[in-house]
Structure 1
Amino acid sequence: MRRWVLGTIAAISFTSAITLTGYLGWMYWENHRQVERFYGKTAEATNTVEISGSEDEPKTEPRTITWEKRPKRGQRIGTLRIPSIGLKVPMWAGTDHAQLSKGVGVHNLGMPGEAELVGIAGHRNTAFRHAGKIRLGDLIILETDRGRFVYRVRRTWIADKDDRSVIRRTGEPVVVGYTCYPFDSPNSPQQRYIIEAEMLADQ
């Protein structure tokens, strides 16, 4: 009788062990499948985000305007603002001393907001005395009665004072500001410090 009881207990224990092992194995497989399914969906979602932000998408072009009537020399065009250096000065048509002594002067090329280069000149000891502190990504804002136009600085460089390629027609909505360089030279500077900024699409 005792041997039969022990045998029965052993059989039950063995069966229970097999059942428990099978259940645990099934739980492990099911959990693994659910985790795999979750991360698979996450990976798909991540891939979708990456594709939607790919470089193959067409670049949004800024909305430009045309100045039908060109401002006359000495006429006020608007205001130049560069927040990063605390600059806010009047913009005048023309680049003579008469204009630069009152703010900055604008060349007779593109006007603010047009699909053309806007050339802006300023003295190194007045309007552009902090030009060397302007960094890539800084904003240049041109405020006029035709609208408010925002540009982002994309490069700066130093050029010879006789380099005629700096201010020219490009057919691109950019601002090019320049001033004499070196900034603290006691002599007549032979170079120019150049700041170039592109017009933003989101105004």
Structure 2
Amino acid sequence: MARFIVPIAVALVGAALFGHGAFIHAKAIVAQVLLDRAFSRTIATGQPVKPWSWADTVPVARIEMKRLGVSTIALAGSSGQALAFGAGHVEGTAEPGETGIAVYSAHRDTHFRFLRDVKVGDEIDIVRRDGRSFRYRADAARVVRFDEFGIDPQADEAELVLSTCWPFDALTQGPERYLLHATLIGDR
């Protein structure tokens, strides 16, 4: 009897784990659709629009990389709850297009998965919630400890940093972060 129960139990646990993983990715995809709608309404009305009634954040930007066919909505703040649904604009950092460094963070296995394919010279477009668009050029990437970012939000130029966990293919969170740096090259 145990010969039948153990394989069935293992299969059920495997199915549950697979289902949980699939749910997380499905939630990220559905959330981006709702976030995209809320972001479009935010631009149209000039007022922040929540993506769903119980949301504790609002969409603040769209990050696009045409070469990679990527577009993702960023939320206000970088709390764990915000990052569960999209990239987050790190509190206390500049707005895109303004003097200083605008910093966005997201998970390496969902919204910032594309960072592994970005090359120096690639262009990144940011559309703000007020509808203004800015183009940046990726100029450097580095790996740092989570507590040693070395980012000076008071930089003299308009700059952008996209941040995610490192290494890209790790199964658990580690102490290192991947930072992609880009410099403003103009309005779009």
- TM-score (norm. length: structure 1): 0.60
Residue 93 (1) aligns with residue 83 (2): no
Q: How has the CA–CA distance of structure 1 residues 171 and 75 changed in structure 2, closer, same or farther, with 3 Å as cutoff?
A: farther
Residue 188 (1) aligns with residue 173 (2): yes
User: What's the CA shift for 1:130?
Assistant: 2.2
User: What's the CA shift for 1:190?
Assistant: 1.5
SS at 2:186's partner residue? coil
Q: Which residue of the partner structure matches residue 124 of structure 2? A: 140
Residue 80 (1) aligns with residue 57 (2): no
Residue 172 (1) aligns with residue 157 (2): yes
1:122-133 to structure 2, matched below 5 A, reads 122-133=106-117
SS at 1:200's partner residue? strand
CA contact (8 A) 1:84 1:134 kept: no
Q: Which runs of 5+ in 2 are unaligned?
A: 1-47, 49-55
Residue 161 (1) aligns with residue 146 (2): yes
Q: Which residue of the partner structure matches residue 96 of structure 2? A: 112
Q: Deviating runs (4+, > 4 A) in structure 1?
A: none
Q: Deviations over 1:13-58 (max 9, x none)?
A: xxxxxxxxxxxxxxxxxxxxxxxxxxxxxxxxxxxxxxxxxxxxxx
- TM-score (norm. length: structure 2): 0.65
User: What's the CA shift for 1:146?
Assistant: 4.2
Give aligned pairs, total.
Answer: 132
| AA of the residue aligned to 2:76 | A
| AA of the residue aligned to 1:118 | A
CA–CA distance in structure 2, aligned partners of residues 143 and 93 of structure 1: 14
CA–CA distance in structure 2, aligned partners of residues 75 and 130 of structure 1: 23
CA–CA distance in structure 2, aligned partners of residues 116 and 169 of structure 1: 5
Q: Which residue of the partner structure matches residue 24 of structure 2? A: none
| AA of the residue aligned to 1:157 | R
Of structures 1 and 2, the larger Rg is shown by 1
From the two aligned structures, give the one with the greater strand fraction. Answer: 2
Aligned CA RMSD, in angstroms, stands at: 1.8
More displaced stretch, 156-165 vs 110-119: 156-165
CA contact (8 A) 2:95 2:102 kept: yes
Q: How has the CA–CA distance of structure 1 residues 89 and 201 changed in structure 2, closer, same or farther, with 3 Å as cutoff?
A: closer
Q: Which residue of the partner structure matches residue 42 of structure 2? A: none
Q: Deviations over 1:113-160 (max 9, x none)?
A: 111100010100101112111001101111122401110001111111
